[in-house]
């Protein structure tokens, strides 16, 4: 990690996707919070830093000064799975706490992430309210939908919002154009020997397979329930193990011929480093980690956008080096060697 050049806070921190990405650029996290107990424990184990709990209970005066506010604020109010109820959803109003913290602390930058459907929820009214709330406290607003599939083997579109305080140039800010690495699910899959200890948790029941078959048939889909592992995966959602639209990977070791992705494979799809630890006292079964992973941001994408933010703050940084370092750390040794070879 580079010498510390800026500070940030990690709101709705989850397991720390923003933190991994920004620490790779030399940032120092001075505050974090999340309402999920399991996420907080995993975060503490990996960063040796205990996040505060629910943002609604945070004493803003106790937050240290910082340069960048990051927040992957709750997306459920704006997703199809969440009914796209927007700010009328019980978690929709949580965004207001971001505004209150920004008003009180006046960071140079707000760096936010959400699902692309935020742009269209309630005919665009929700995103209009988000923009107006940010602009009302004096920040400029830049936003773009970026697909992580160019860096990682997952077709994951996400909305990124970058806002600059008055006095920060910001007007010249542009989101990065990500290099297309053309990676596939096959690149990150683990050998059976690597997943043997957890294999019993990866085998679906016949009923679970049939439910997915029936769901896809009713939806008029003809592509089956098994992933094509030679292309990027669909977006991994927090309900991966339960969601009927998610697919299995091929497996020759059971009669059904399929299995769930191992949580470490999902971590690789998200760009989470191999040395990131998922065990904690509240998670006795490895299939408890999928929700945390499905809600996580992609650290390499965060780092790429972060490089462009830092440029606006007068901190020049080469995009390729930190991003490639994160990619290499978040996959198998074989795939890491391939990434090195292809970029050299």
Burial of 66 (0-12, 13-18, 19+ CB in 10 A): buried
The structural domains of the chain, with segments of one domain joined by +, span 6-179+297-343, 185-294
Could you tell me the mean pLDDT of each successive run of 10 residues in the chain, 344 residues long?
Answer: 77 98 97 96 96 95 97 66 45 81 96 94 89 95 97 97 84 90 96 93 92 87 90 93 85 93 97 92 79 96 96 86 95 88 60
pLDDT tens figures, 50-94: 999 999 999 999 999 999 999 998 855 444 444 444 444 444 478
Starting at the edge strand found earlier in the chain, the sheet holding 157-164 runs 27-33, 6-11, 68-71, 109-114, 157-164, 140-147
Rounded CA-CA distance 272/21 in Å is 9
Q: Count other Cβ atoms within 10 Å, centred on residue 78.
A: 29
Give the tokens for residue 184: 């596939």
Which fold would CATH assign to domain 185-294? DNA Methylase; Chain A, domain 2 (3.90.120)
Contact predicate 94/70, CB 8 Å: no
75 is catalytic: yes
At the fourth CATH level, which superfamily is domain 6-179+297-343?
Vaccinia Virus protein VP39 (3.40.50.150)
Please pick, among 33, 39, 75, 292, the residue that the annotation labels catalytic.
Answer: 75
pLDDT number for residue 344: 53
Q: How far is CA 306 from the centre of its chain?
A: 14
């Amino acid at each position: 990690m580079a010498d510390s050049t800026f500070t940030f806070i990690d709101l709705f921190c989850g397991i720390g996707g923003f933190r991994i990405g920004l620490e790779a650029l030399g940032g120092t996290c001075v505050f974090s919070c999340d309402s999920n107990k399991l996420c907080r424990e995993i975060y503490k184990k990996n960063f040796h830093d205990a996040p505060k709990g629910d943002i609604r209970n945070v004493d803003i005066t106790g937050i240290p000064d910082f340069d960048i506010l990051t927040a992957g604020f709750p997306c459920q109010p704006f997703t199809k799975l969440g009914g796209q109820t927007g700010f009328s959803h019980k978690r929709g109003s949580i965004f207001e706490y971001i505004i209150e913290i920004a008003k009180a602390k006046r960071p140079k930058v707000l760096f936010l992430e959400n699902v692309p459907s935020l742009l269209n929820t309630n005919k665009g009214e929700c995103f209009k309210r988000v923009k107006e709330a940010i602009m009302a406290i004096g920040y400029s607003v830049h936003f773009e939908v970026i697909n992580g599939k160019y860096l990682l083997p997952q077709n994951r579109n996400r909305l990124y919002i970058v806002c600059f305080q008055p006095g920060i140039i910001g007007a010249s800010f542009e989101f990065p154009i990500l290099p297309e690495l053309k990676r596939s699910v096959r690149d990150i899959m683990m050998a059976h020997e690597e997943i043997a200890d957890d294999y019993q948790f990866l085998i679906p029941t016949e009923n679970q397979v049939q439910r997915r078959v029936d769901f896809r048939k009713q939806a008029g889909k003809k592509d089956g329930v098994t992933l094509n592992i030679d292309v990027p995966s669909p977006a991994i959602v927090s309900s991966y193990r339960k969601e009927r639209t998610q697919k299995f990977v091929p497996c020759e070791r059971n009669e059904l011929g399929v299995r769930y992705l191992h949580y470490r494979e999902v971590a690789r799809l998200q760009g989470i480093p191999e040395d990131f630890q998922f065990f904690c006292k509240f998670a006795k079964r490895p299939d408890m980690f999928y929700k945390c992973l499905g809600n996580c941001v992609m650290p390499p994408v965060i780092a790429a956008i972060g490089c462009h933010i830092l440029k606006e703050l007068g901190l020049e940084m080469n995009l390729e080096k930190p991003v490639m370092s994160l990619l290499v750390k978040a996959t198998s040794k074989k795939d890491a060697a391939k990434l090195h070879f292809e970029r050299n």
